Amino acid sequence: MSEANSAYADLEKRFQRVWAVENAISILDWGQATMMPAGSAAARANVLAEVCSYVHELVSDPAVADLVSEAKSKGGLNEWQTANLREISHLAPSCHSPPRRLHRANDTCSHRARNGVARSAPCE
């Protein structure tokens, strides 16, 4: 990568954070499915929804689309980086990205439903 392609470097840092948080989500999901203490499913659903909402914020930030465009136009990327940029561009926000509060509400309901709490704790 050329030194001039700082946009790609910024994207790489951002998505390393995204992938690290998604790994944490996987661990929380695994713990939820295998050894969730009695009575803690609703709390775990809320935590997972908040963490998923954070990932959504990172990925749907309008700066991502700008960085993707800038990285593409500057070039100087190797084959691996070009493939990463292509994958990242699929995740770049669209003008129809739902607001954070709706995304979080959906995540909360999804995580509650997986734990059988949706019937006892309505989603808001």
Give the gyration radius of the chain's Cα atoms. Answer: 18
- What does the alpha-carbon distance between residue 28 and residue 115 come to, in Å, rounded to a whole number? 13
Mean of per-residue pLDDT scores for the chain: 78
Whether 94 has a pLDDT exceeding 60, the answer reads: no
- Mean pLDDT of all residues in 62-80: 92
Residue 79 covered by a domain = yes
Please give the structure tokens belonging to residue 122. 């309505």
- Note down the domain range covering 49: 6-114
Residue 58 covered by a domain = yes
Whether 85 has a pLDDT exceeding 90, the answer reads: yes
- Give the pLDDT of residue 36: 82
Residue 119 covered by a domain = no
The share of the chain scoring above pLDDT 90, in percent, equals 37
Residue 101 covered by a domain = yes
36, 115 Cβ separation under 8 angstroms: yes
The share of the chain scoring above pLDDT 70, in percent, equals 71
More confident residue, 119 or 103: 103
Residue 120 covered by a domain = no
- What does the alpha-carbon distance between residue 86 and residue 11 come to, in Å, rounded to a whole number? 12
More confident residue, 95 or 9: 9
Structural domain count of the chain = 1
Residue 1 covered by a domain = no
For residue 14, give the nearest of 66, 72, 55, 75 by alpha carbon: 55
Distance separating the N- and C-terminal Cα atoms of the chain: 46
- Give the pLDDT of residue 22: 92
Residue 121 covered by a domain = no
- What does the alpha-carbon distance between residue 68 and residue 62 come to, in Å, rounded to a whole number? 10
Whole-structure pTM value: 0.68
Residue 38 covered by a domain = yes
